[in-house]
Structure 1
Amino acid sequence: MNARDFSARVPPGGYQWWYVDAMSDDGRYGLTIIAFIGSVFSPYYAAARRRAPGAADPQDFCSVNVALYGDCRRWAMTERGVGALRRSARELAIGPSRLHWDGDMLVIDLDEITTPMPQRLRGQVRVQSPVLSRNAFALDAEGRHLWSPIAPCARVSVQLDQPSLNWQGDGYLDSNAGETSLEEAFVRWHWSRASLHGGDTAVLYDVTRRDASSASLALRFDADGGFSTFEPPPEQVLPTTMWRVGRATRSEHASPQAQTLEDTPFYARSMVRTQLLGESVGSMHESLDLDRFRSRWVQTLLPFRMPRRSGTRVRAAL
């Protein structure tokens, strides 16, 4: 799997996404960007898969999700149909937003409208890394769901016109791809990445599969493109969110501290202060509850958070 190739086939009912996160050097700002083909959190795509199992076209359910954290919070995720998708090996455009490779640097041009208060979110984000990885790790036993840490030790520069923001910080780039929906394969997962002293990055990935098996990855990446495994420290339960989403991480310290960045009925993103590999680190952390996601009440709420723009009307009815 070449996760840098934006033109790779995404099978019916499947997905691929590219994920970027970063925190500013001064700790005041943060962001996540996720570009989806076959948006895994789309109620419209979920409904299409139910109506036509194994036949729903992922290219008709695409979006660019942008979340800004800190002093200037914004959130945007507009779903678009196949007519708004343009892609080649080195370029991916979804509506007015675009990702492209400039040599080994990923350039993201954003032009989105936020929700729930409509505001323009426009500007450029650049992701640079001395080495880009081709490693891929299976998250399920059959190898149908793959995680590719493309640039785990990255530097990110943010230059936004709307809102006016200009900062730099340590960041991260990866991609996930799958042949079926997430909720078909997994019950939940907890993921986190932390920048270590000296420029390395530690990633923890704990998944609970639908067949009741589980997997735990604990990896240390260096700036030269190498990686090693390490023994995952004990699991530590974090406080649930306001939406009662369960969170957990792994830490050598018994009481990691969590600051919630995003709180939804099925998903939580947090900054977690924890102890890894003998260091006190701040981790970008996410917890995902896929039983919650596929529940009827959550599917009913999602269209209000994720509007869809398409020439063809797609129902989100259950």
Structure 2
Amino acid sequence: MTLIAFIGSVFSPYYFKGRRRGRDEPRDYCSLNVCLYGKARRWTMTERRQRGLTQSHSRLQIGPSALHWGADRTLTVEIDEIGTPIPQRVRGEVKVTPSFINEQAFELDQAGRHRWRPIAPSARVEVSLERPAISWTGHAYLDRNWGDEPLEDAFRYWDWSRASLGGDESLILYHADRREGDRLSLGLHFGADGSLSHFEAPQDHRLARTPIWRMPRSSQADAQHPPRVVKTLEDTPFYSRSVIASHLQGRPIEAVHESLSLDRFRSAWVQHLLPYRMPRR
């Protein structure tokens, strides 16, 4: 399961077009993206205008769905959405409880216009959905991205992956090809006690392209241990989410992996397709 709350949705075709017409108020392009995998597969990303947005220090309301922090540092997500392209209801509650809170944020570009903070590199999740009727508990991760310009203006491509090493220990890789021509390459190790250490990201390896849209994918792994795709979760014209088997710091891992092509995203043919998966209310 993946949940993403957007204010000024970076992947919105309406925001993409609006910025070019001077209608660039980010609060007018908000959505809650819900992705369910497995037998009860669902995908929602209905975009809401500013009138559907309410914000406070601890609560974010987007249309009928909401996120709020509790006094016990648990993030509760109340979901009430309609899936696309098949209009199936997704309703229920998700609770994410961080094992610890990371306060450090990272600048992704040289100008400092794009930032990323892995808020909870390790967490526990409780999922209780009415529609579809499923529930489970397990391991989770929570982060935040924010910026002062469109992603496609600063980056051509990026990939990211996170692996749990057992308990509350984890590894994160963040690689980006910047439009200036240089690269970002982050390797982060979070200990079970919340400690953070950096390591040099190993060499880059190409992964198999996605089966439908042929999205390019790559990831970093130890020499002589090329990563491989275990399962493709999302296969879109400009973005993929996968489970990969890899090898980092001398140990085998399984990681959630994402690839994003901003060159593809800003192309006319992709912008034409996106409204079919992202209705606007």
TM-score normalised to structure 1 length:
0.85
In the aligned structure 2, how far is the partner of 1:218 from the partner of 1:251? 11
Write the mapping of 1:11-30 to structure 2, written as runs, cut at 5 A. none
In the aligned structure 2, how far is the partner of 1:229 from the partner of 1:191? 15
- 2:249 aligns with 277
Cα pair 1:236 1:256 within 8 Å, conserved: no
SS at 2:272 equivalent? helix
- 1:158 aligns with 127
Cα pair 1:153 1:222 within 8 Å, conserved: no
Find the partner of 1:57 among 14, 17, 25. Answer: 25
The percentage of aligned residue pairs carrying the same residue is 53
In the aligned structure 1, how far is the partner of 2:227 from the partner of 2:48? 42
1:212-267 deviation per Cα after TM superposition (whole angstroms, max 9, x unaligned): 11110000112322210112122111001121211001122124233110000000
- 1:40 aligns with 10
Find the partner of 1:286 among 248, 255, 258. Answer: 258
Unaligned runs of 5+ in 1: 1-30, 310-318
In the aligned structure 2, how far is the partner of 1:126 from the partner of 1:296? 38
Write the mapping of 1:97-246 to structure 2, written as runs, cut at 5 A. 97-103=65-71, 104-241=73-210, 242-246=212-216
In the aligned structure 1, how far is the partner of 2:83 from the partner of 2:139? 25
Higher relative contact order structure (alpha carbons within 8 Å, sequence separation ≥ 6)? 1
SS at 2:275 equivalent? helix
Cα pair 1:257 1:272 within 8 Å, conserved: yes
Cα pair 1:196 1:279 within 8 Å, conserved: no
1:143-200 deviation per Cα after TM superposition (whole angstroms, max 9, x unaligned): 1100011001111111111001111111100000000000011101000101013421
Find the partner of 1:74 among 38, 42, 59. Answer: 42
Cα pair 2:162 2:256 within 8 Å, conserved: yes
Q: CA deviation at 1:89?
A: 0.8
Q: CA deviation at 1:42?
A: 0.3
Cα pair 1:106 1:127 within 8 Å, conserved: yes
What is the aligned residue count? 277
- 2:55 aligns with 87
- 1:247 aligns with 217
SS at 1:70 equivalent? coil
- 1:28 aligns with none
- 95-104 vs 217-226, which moves further: 217-226
In the aligned structure 1, how far is the partner of 2:263 from the partner of 2:204? 21
Q: CA deviation at 1:284?
A: 0.7
- 221-230 vs 291-300, which moves further: 221-230
